[in-house]
Structure 1
């Protein structure tokens, strides 16, 4: 069966005065129709760059240096500007972190939605407005006919994010890429937005890539997870198996750092050190300076992402067999938005 999206050996570099630096290092993953995947890691891991690459939105000095991105059987990297426009915002939509950066402050919500529809479809303004009202209802915006005539500043943060989601849904896309869609919202609104995305994906059979640093969020929304570190995928598999039995020391550290993973009053775990920048990625396994299990081998040889263990997941670690696999419950409580600080 053909995948909806298949990324093969994607490599993204940034051409700086001091030289070219690799931001994404030959990552591979696939997504089927209606499937939901979480792309997880700390800031600087390469999550957002991956999302932008799929839509060919990498701006200079960044560029796609290699690999292929197949969407519905077509290699997006080989499309012309006009052909890419028929995919971007049409078959693939993106939801960005800050709705105020997405919405035009001097245009009404209705004008922005109608403009989006008319850019991708041959449709009358009256039909576009009717469809806009329908999509606002789908994201639970009250009095949508009235709301169309209002400006972004007249809405709360949560309502603005719902409107951004409604705009992303206008063309009934096959895939939504949600880049930290709840970062600027409080915990209660975060839960509502994630519930809404899950509801829409289920009802409309859309696939979704959820980009976030919060394993607590992806555990509630996605079916599989790809954990990224320094531009590489270090662990990938079903959400249930990875959350219950993390096999890469970095994944294990992210989960241990979540609120709820320890008793009340006990200081939260913190992974020592920080994400390396592009100009100083360590030799061997990039995580080795921060890893409590690192061997000399880890400092000189980069582990490949391979199928490991009984739980059918891929892991890039020389010592993965030494982390016991067992069936267990997630080590943090259910619920959205918990631990929304950098893990």
Structure 2
């Protein structure tokens, strides 16, 4: 049985003049202890997916249809009281900016201890000792002193380590990490990702990593979902998607990586931009930016099908694969 099973999840936003679709019928599973990556450009629907899994979509957004089953229990239909029990306990989220996540007027200790007391029957001293242990796990020096400090007294890297410690505080089964290193210096990002991977592996915690960086996904995850305009357009084992992408959009993302370009050359990029939610094109949403688009692509939305080792939503996948094979033979 999957730890998390998402089926036909559709999220809409009721705007003043129209209703727009932010997620359009996405489905996926994650097993206990598995690490799943969700990648795509800004506006693809990655963060909306993460917020939906925690049932944190607020008006004017709402879940139009679908289900999110955590250990068989539908998150969409849960009461507010049940959601408070669930969040942090069975499923936790790491947000992009630690300064937004942490309360600036409470000490680190107050925030960690109150979280523990809200979910566990403990004395304040027992909760404090657990908080110290968790800070040590994320390599915070002098954790006893850090508990009495405020967020602004700590560096960005230190704050993000504390966010990870809080996410692990109640030993959740699943962590959703939404661009967890965006606000950090490049030199610190690798350390934070390595720490997150180490802790998830040692604690057997499932991880959903939301990012635009395919390089990070290749190092951190076992399976990957590629999203575009609120839809999953390719899914499979990370190794297969990185080494042999089937969808033209995934190929474009990989070709745009700096290591794919020789020194001194211009970086390759996908032409055009992600469509806005109010102007999703007919047919395949990627067709205006795709050099392989046909009339069928412009009129009919492709279904996601099993092709080789991955699932892909592309009308032209067989033709493109055949052309690629011919080019390799002629090379």
Question: 1:318 matched to which residue of 2?
Answer: 315
Question: 2:128 matched to which residue of 1?
Answer: 129
Shift in Å, 1:36 = 0.3
Question: 2:191 matched to which residue of 1?
Answer: 192
> How many residues are paired up?
324
Shift in Å, 1:84 = 1.3
Shift in Å, 1:323 = 3.2
Equivalent runs, 1:104-143 vs 2, <5 Å: 104-143=103-142
Shift in Å, 1:321 = 1.4
Question: 2:167 matched to which residue of 1?
Answer: 168
Question: 1:70 matched to which residue of 2?
Answer: 69
* 258-267 vs 5-14, which moves further: 258-267
Question: 1:276 matched to which residue of 2?
Answer: 275
- Whether 2:304 is the aligned partner of 1:305: answer yes
Shift in Å, 1:307 = 0.5
- Whether 2:273 is the aligned partner of 1:249: answer no
Question: 1:181 matched to which residue of 2?
Answer: 180
Shift in Å, 1:134 = 0.4
Distance in 2 of aligned mates of 1:38 and 1:279 = 27
Shift in Å, 1:47 = 0.5
Distance in 2 of aligned mates of 1:293 and 1:18 = 34
Distance in 2 of aligned mates of 1:324 and 1:301 = 20
Distance in 2 of aligned mates of 1:190 and 1:292 = 35
Shift in Å, 1:75 = 1.1
Shift in Å, 1:16 = 0.5
RMSD of aligned Cα (Å): 1.2
User: Structure 1 residue runs of 4+, over 6 Å off?
Assistant: none
Shift in Å, 1:295 = 0.6
Question: 2:265 matched to which residue of 1?
Answer: 266
* 318-327 vs 124-133, which moves further: 318-327
Shift in Å, 1:78 = 1.6
Distance in 1 of aligned mates of 2:187 and 2:194 = 11
Shift in Å, 1:106 = 1.2
Shift in Å, 1:53 = 0.5
Distance in 2 of aligned mates of 1:69 and 1:227 = 19
Question: 2:144 matched to which residue of 1?
Answer: 145
Residue 26 of structure 2 aligns to a residue whose secondary structure is strand
- Whether 2:84 is the aligned partner of 1:94: answer no
Distance in 1 of aligned mates of 2:123 and 2:81 = 22
Q: Deviations over 1:291-312 (max 9, x none)?
A: 0111111000000111012xx2
Question: 1:17 matched to which residue of 2?
Answer: 16
Shift in Å, 1:324 = 3.2
Question: 2:292 matched to which residue of 1?
Answer: 293
Q: Deviations over 1:153-189 (max 9, x none)?
A: 1111111000000011100000000000000112221
TM-score by length of structure 2 reads: 0.96
Q: Deviations over 1:212-269 (max 9, x none)?
A: 1110111100000000000000000000000001100000101111111111111001
Question: 1:231 matched to which residue of 2?
Answer: 230
Q: Deviations over 1:39-58 (max 9, x none)?
A: 00001000000110111100
- Whether 2:158 is the aligned partner of 1:159: answer yes
* 58-67 vs 78-87, which moves further: 78-87
